[in-house]
With several copies, the nearest count.
Chain A
Amino acid sequence: MAFAVASYRDTVRQTLIEEMDRDQDVFLIGEDIGRYQGTFKVTAGLFDKYGAKRVVDTPITEPGIVGIATGAAMTGLRPVVEMMTMSFSILALDQIINHAAKVHYMTGGQSTVPMVIRGPSGAANQLSAQHSHSMEGWFAHCPGLKVVAPSTPACAKGLLKTAIRDNNPVIFTENPGLYGVKGEVPDDLDFTIPFGKARIAREGKDLSLVAYSRMVHVCLAAAEELAKDGIDVEVVDVRSLLPMDTETIYGSVAKTHRAVVVYEDWKSGGFGAEIAARIGEDCFDDLDAPVGRVGGLNVPMPYTRILELECIPNEKDVIAAVRKIS
């Protein structure tokens, strides 16, 4: 299979194009995604290519948008909803978790909701408290949804294709900090990555760093630093939070006997707690040290850059957590 180097942003865009060409039922809907090309320019050019019918600019009404997409999906259309930022999905949570996620169950299996909700999740650059939420954990707690958080362009392509072809509501979270990240992407039009399969981003034998989305890169950077001191850490890219591949995570911990879970969301009550709790319970006998966690500070995101940077976990924080249990 051939590869091409592309950015995360262009890969998401290219994948949308491929799936829209493949299936006429796939359409995009969201705020400023058409004429304005998308706030993060992920949908650049698509309005000109597919027109107003399949690239739908909407009013700023997230609950209504998700509800309309859900209803359309119940009839077999395959909407891909863009949340300008996942922070705005909070307005639509009732439509997402109390409607879309429950359709298949409440109808006794009569109906499905083949809908994808995608957009940047997490802090960007000084967008302040109301625009910097990490939402994946909230969604991963909700049965009926599937939730992914790819860290590389290739994973973004494979998981987005799987998401669009899935018959259940899927939350596809991007991180604003990833759009510029480049990587090799297979050009196979049917390159899909199954949900519930984690990825070993880096092999190591001394400790397992478990992360997803942008934090995978923070962990990889930390790993390089630690390697200089002879600490050989493995980095597990969870990729898919719901379903989650505990087998791969546990396998890594069985090998390294130590684990630190890293996530950008508020530390307390974030999904990293679930991952840590599972490792703690299911790998108890393998563990030579307590399962460490590195998460975002438990404060609303401040505006000023120096404080914002304090809130978001970085290499130093990961290294400190690793040293603590090494």
Chain B
Amino acid sequence: MAKQAEKHLAASPAELETYYREMLYIRHFEEKCNFAYRQGKAGGYLHVYIGMEPLAVGWLNSIRKGYDHVITAYRDHGHALLLGSDPVAVMAEIMGRSGGLSRGKGGSMHLYDIDKGFYGGWGIVGGHVAMGAGLAFSAKYREEDRVVLCYLGDGASNAGVWFETLNMCGLWDLPIVFIIENNEFAMGTRLEYHAADTELWKRGLPFDIKSERIDGMDVLQQKVDAQRIIDYVRKEQKPYLVEVMTYRFAGHGAADNDRQLYRTKEEEEHAMLRDPIKLLEKYLIQHNVMNHEKMEAIEEEILKEVDRIYDEADASPFPDLPEVYDNVYSDMSVEEGH
């Protein structure tokens, strides 16, 4: 009977559990990040991926981890976690500790784990996309079949440098996937107020780049689409543009606490009907892959794990003052003092 079900499964039970665990893990990890912010243990800008988890889970399970390269903007916690960064180092970075991924110098927006193929973690809207193409340029230069995933927001998809980049990617056939996270908002500005045509997938058309729009809430469908597209790019050595339709459940950042300025409660509730985690739970139950008890057990486990991560990170030290001068250059110290 479970066997029976398996036939019709979109993925193996083990994979399904992995996706479930990963989405839940990102969700609770980031709830904890927001908690840290409210506690004053994280500062500055802090942006969560809540509601958008399938963009991390679907795509990062379709690449060759550690070999392929990933780059995104500041909504980057989930990417670091799924690419295998030490979660304590991620939380420590968000808390500005010396044990953080970037030694406390980057913060939530600037997570990097180069050894794991994660190139950040950037704060300037649209600023990282050309660097993403540079990663792909390098793969091609070295004749390696590496694929680059470059995420950007709907707001970022208006940035001039991105179009310049699309042109060069199309011109030179660079192996990169541009993933537009269309969560319908750029900070407090709704899509319709910042994009002349809200079908952002069309932006690849002038550059002879294959482009399409997909759903972002069904993680299983997204996994299938992601694998298809990544395989295409790796094989054909051509760029690809995907617009993923999702929704930013939270405010823009932890400091954005008046969402009613730009959207109604009703709209939010309507969007949350398609909470990707709930959708997957429904699927798992319908297909007898998991029951409620199992799910609760997993959630328990993850909550404990996240608590441990938080406590360990919180117990770790801040940088020593002299570290302020480290890492400006790889080989040279800077003049000290005011």
A and B touch in the complex (CB under 8 A): yes
Q: Which residues in chain B, 304-338, are within 8 Å of chain A measured between CB atoms? A: 318-319, 321, 323-332, 334-338
Instruction: Name the residue of chain A whose CB is nearest to the CB of B69.
Output: A75
Q: In the complex, A60 Cα to B167 Cα: how many Å? A: 11
Which residues from B are CB-within-8-Å of A326? none
Q: A293-308 interface mask toward B, CB cutoff 8 Å, 1 = contact, 0 = none?
A: 0111111101111110
A297: which of B131, B171, B318, B324 is its contact (CB, 8 Å)?
B324
Q: Which residues in chain B, 59-85, are within 8 Å of chain A measured between CB atoms? A: 69, 71
A84: min CB distance to chain B, Å: 9
Q: A91-110 interface mask toward B, CB cutoff 8 Å, 1 = contact, 0 = none?
A: 10011001100001111111
A295: which of B104, B141, B338 is its contact (CB, 8 Å)?
B338
Segment from B11-19, B23-31, B110-118, B286-294 that makes contact with A: B110-118
Instruction: Name the residue of chain B whose CB is nearest to the CB of A62.
Output: B164
Q: In the complex, A66 Cα to B168 Cα: how many Å? A: 12
Q: In the complex, A72 Cα to B167 Cα: how many Å? A: 17
B160: which of A31, A64, A70 is its contact (CB, 8 Å)?
A64
Does B119 sit within 8 A of A, measured CB to CB?
yes
Asked if B112 and A307 make an inter-chain contact with CB atoms under 8 angstroms apart, the answer reads: no
With A70-B134, A305-B43 already in contact, the answer to whether A60 and B338 are too (CB < 8 A) is no
Which residues from A are CB-within-8-Å of B195? 59
Asked if B110 and A128 make an inter-chain contact with CB atoms under 8 angstroms apart, the answer reads: yes
Asked if B161 and A35 make an inter-chain contact with CB atoms under 8 angstroms apart, the answer reads: no
Q: In the complex, A310 Cα to B324 Cα: how many Å? A: 8
Q: Which residues in chain A, 8-34, are within 8 Å of chain B measured between CB atoms? A: 27, 31-32
Asked if A302 and B168 make an inter-chain contact with CB atoms under 8 angstroms apart, the answer reads: no
Asked if A75 and B164 make an inter-chain contact with CB atoms under 8 angstroms apart, the answer reads: no
Instruction: Name the residue of chain B whose CB is nearest to the CB of A95.
Output: B130
Segment from B181-189, B216-224, B226-234, B275-283 that makes contact with A: B181-189
Q: In the complex, A240 Cα to B329 Cα: how many Å? A: 16
Q: A127-144 interface mask toward B, CB cutoff 8 Å, 1 = contact, 0 = none?
A: 111110000000000011
Does A63 sit within 8 A of B, measured CB to CB?
yes
Does A88 sit within 8 A of B, measured CB to CB?
yes
Does B204 sit within 8 A of A, measured CB to CB?
no
Asked if A128 and B123 make an inter-chain contact with CB atoms under 8 angstroms apart, the answer reads: yes
Q: In the complex, A307 Cα to B279 Cα: how many Å? A: 43
B131: which of A58, A71, A268 is its contact (CB, 8 Å)?
A71
Asked if B193 and A75 make an inter-chain contact with CB atoms under 8 angstroms apart, the answer reads: no
Asked if B328 and A106 make an inter-chain contact with CB atoms under 8 angstroms apart, the answer reads: no
Asked if B114 and A107 make an inter-chain contact with CB atoms under 8 angstroms apart, the answer reads: yes
Which residues from B are CB-within-8-Å of A130? 109, 122-124, 127
Point out residues on A near B: beta carbons under 8 Å: 27, 31-32, 35-37, 39, 53, 57-61, 63-77, 88, 91, 94-95, 98-99, 104-112, 125-131, 143-144, 146, 166-168, 195, 243, 267-268, 294-300, 302-307, 310-311, 313, 317, 321
Subset of 27 A-B contacts with CB under 8 Å: A32-B188, A35-B189, A35-B190, A36-B188, A36-B261, A53-B141, A59-B186, A65-B130, A67-B165, A70-B134, A74-B114, A105-B327, A106-B106, A106-B120, A107-B120, A108-B100, A110-B113, A125-B43, A126-B43, A126-B96, A129-B123, A130-B122, A144-B328, A168-B330, A297-B338, A304-B104, A305-B96
